[in-house]
Amino acid sequence: MTVAAPGNEAVIRPLEERDAEAVTRILCEADDTRVLSPAAWLHRRRHRPEREHGVELGAELAGVLVGIGAGGLNAWTTTPGASWASVAVRASHRRRGIGSLLHERLLDHLRSVAGTNATSFVRWSEESERWARVRGWERVLGGPLIALDPRNVSEPSAAAGLRCVSMADVDDPRVVYEATCVAALDEPSAVPNDDIRYEDWLTEWDDPVFDRESSAVVLDGDRVVAFTYMNVSGDRAQHGFTGTLPEYRGRGLATLAKRRALATAARKGVTRVTTSNAEQNAAMRAINRNLGFEPIGEVVILSRDL
C-alpha cells in the first residue's frame, strides 16, 4: 500500500525489486564501509525467512527514493518478541521528518507481529545518536569500527596438525555452519544467537558479495575449528563473523584464518578491509590490533522497548 504522509510531501510505499540500485546507494552513503551490491540486496530480499515477518519501506519525493526503512522479528534467536529495525535517509533530505515517518511505520509493524523489543545496528555519528535518543533508543553495545590495507598483512604460517584453507575448498557447507552456531553462542550481542537455522544460513553462503575464496577455515581433520567470513565488492571488503570453537581457543587459530583471508583478498585487488568488534570482545580486539587494523569510527547496537 502506498501512503502520502500527512503534513509531509513524502510518499511512503513498500520497496520493490526495481529499487535495488537506489537502496544500495542510500545504504552505502549512510555507511561507506558497507559492502553491498544491488544483486546482494535482491538476494537477501528474496530469501528472508517467513517467520521474520519482515517489512521494507521507501520514502519517495517526486518519484525519487530518498529514504528507506526495514524491520522484522529476529529470526536467529529464541528470545520472544526480539526484533530489529533500521532507517536510512539521504543526507540531502534529512531534517524533513522523513526518517521519523519511516520509523513510526516500522515500529507499528513490529508491534503488529508481536515484537516487544527492537535493536538496530548503527554507524555512529553525533547526528544518528541524537536522532535515536529522542525516539527512545538507548545504546546497549558498542565498539570500534576499524580498517586496514590487506596488502600490508603477511601470509599465515602453518599450524601443527591443522590445515587452513579457503571456504571455497569445503565440500560440505554444513561443517562451517555447525562451527558458526557454536561460536555464535558467546558472541557479544543484544540477544543470544541461539536459533540459527541451516536453510537461513545458506542464504548468507549464497550471497553475491560473500567471497568464499577469501573466507577461510581452520580444519582439524574434517572438522572446522576456526573460521572467518569475508564479503568483497570491487576493491573493498568487510570481515564478517570470525570465531573459534571453545576448546581450540588461545592457539592463534582465529589469527591464522584472518591472515589467510586478508592475503587472499589482497591478491584479488582489495585495498581496504573493514570490520568491528564489541568492546566486550577483548580477545578479538587484540587480534585485530596485532594484524594492524586501525580505528576509523564506531558502531553501536541500540535498543528500545515497543
CA dist., res. 111 & res. 208, Å (int) = 32
Q: Which domains does the chain have, with CATH numbers?
A: 3-115 (3.40.630.30), 147-298 (3.40.630.30)
CA dist., res. 88 & res. 86, Å (int) = 7
pLDDT band for 3, please (50, 70, 90 cuts): low
User: Other CB atoms closer than 10 Å to residue 45's CB: what's the count?
Assistant: 17
CA dist., res. 189 & res. 49, Å (int) = 21
Which pLDDT does position 158 carry in this prediction?
A: 74
108: its cell numbers: 507499528
pLDDT band for 188, please (50, 70, 90 cuts): confident
CB 122 within 8 A of CB 88: no
pLDDT band for 1, please (50, 70, 90 cuts): very low
| Percent of the chain at pLDDT exceeding 90 | 89
Q: What pLDDT digit, counting tens, does each position of 25-82 carry?
A: 999 999 999 999 999 999 999 999 999 999 999 999 999 999 999 999 999 999 999 9
Q: What pLDDT digit, counting tens, does each position of 118-172 carry?
A: 999 999 999 999 999 999 999 999 999 999 999 999 888 877 889 999 999 999 9
With a CB cutoff of 8 Å and minimum separation 6, the contacts of 297 are 33, 123, 124, 144, 145
